[in-house]
Amino acid sequence: MRCTAVIPAYNESTRILGVLNILVQAGNVSEIIVVNDASSDDTANVARQFAKTAPKQVRVFDMPANAGKGAAMHRGASETDGEVVLFLDADLVGLSVEMVQNMTAGVIAGEADMTLGVFRGGQFWTTLAQILVPNISGQRCILRSLFLDVPNVANARYGVELAITNHVLATGVPCSTVILRDVSHPTKELKLGIIRGTIARMNMYIQMVPYMIKRVSSRRKR
């Protein structure tokens, strides 16, 4: 099966190259799609300049307006016919080619329908968050058809990871976890400053709440 890496990106011009440079070296990844979610910085241009000399196909798509992470991921998955999609955040620090191979191998081989990558040891706060709530991780490899079947995924915004998890658990398909040792990404507070970053974090959690409630409700019905 062919694997496409999809990177939803919003204002990541200074960080996205780190992820792209790893992906072009990963043998399991056939092509790379960057979805620029109406960034106000140079994210799209940075990705397009990279694409000109990249050793494999890199395509960049622009959302007409900021529509949130779920919409960007859905756009990327809709622009490929690869059977497997690898979603990665654009601001990862410490990602390696081996990690990409580990995340994709099981799904490509048909051993799992989804692989979830979780942080360990990179940065205290990001590791703690994924120990407490691993299903919020944005790093996952999944069958494209399974992702596109997630109800209302294009409108999930920051709830997209929980929406995927809820759907996958409800369908009972085989999944696996891969530890991303010493990987992290900058917190919103570091990117935006304490006040703006805290507001952005609260908005993110608010968007996640409906999917958390849905998961709890589904457990009680069993």
Give me the mean pLDDT over the 193-211 stretch: 67
**pLDDT of the residue at 132:** 59
Q: What is d(CA 28, CA 198) in angstroms, rounded to the nearest whole number? A: 37
Residues 6+ apart with CB under 8 A from 53: none
- Looking at the predicted structure, is the pLDDT value of residue 207 above 80? no
pLDDT in tens, 52-110: 999 999 999 999 999 999 999 999 999 999 999 999 999 999 999 999 999 999 999 99
Q: How many domains are there within the chain?
A: 1
State the average pLDDT for the chain: 87
Asked whether residue 190 carries a pLDDT value surpassing 60, the answer given is: yes
Q: What percent of the chain has pLDDT over 90?
A: 63
Whether the pLDDT of residue 204 is over 60: the answer is yes
- 81 in Cβ contact with 1 (< 8 Å): no
What pLDDT shows up at residue 157?
A: 85
Residue 175 has phi, psi (to 5 degrees) of -135, 160
Average pLDDT over residues 114-132: 75
Is the pLDDT at 131 greater than 70, yes or no? no
Name the nearest CA neighbour of 88 among 33, 152, 47, 28. Answer: 33
Q: What is the CATH number of the domain that holds 215?
A: 3.90.550.10
pLDDT one-digit tens code per residue, 19-65 = 999 999 999 999 999 999 999 999 999 999 999 999 999 999 999 99
Q: What are phi and psi of 179, to 5 degrees?
A: -80, 130
- pLDDT above 60 for 11: yes
Residue reference for tokens 């992290």: 184
Domain that holds residue 29: 3-221
Give the sign of the dihedral formed by CA 189, CA 192, CA 194, CA 200: negative
Are the CB atoms for 132 and 208 separated by under 8 Å? no
In one-letter notation, the amino acid at residue 207 is: Q
Q: Is the Cβ–Cβ distance between 163 and 87 less than 8 Å? A: no
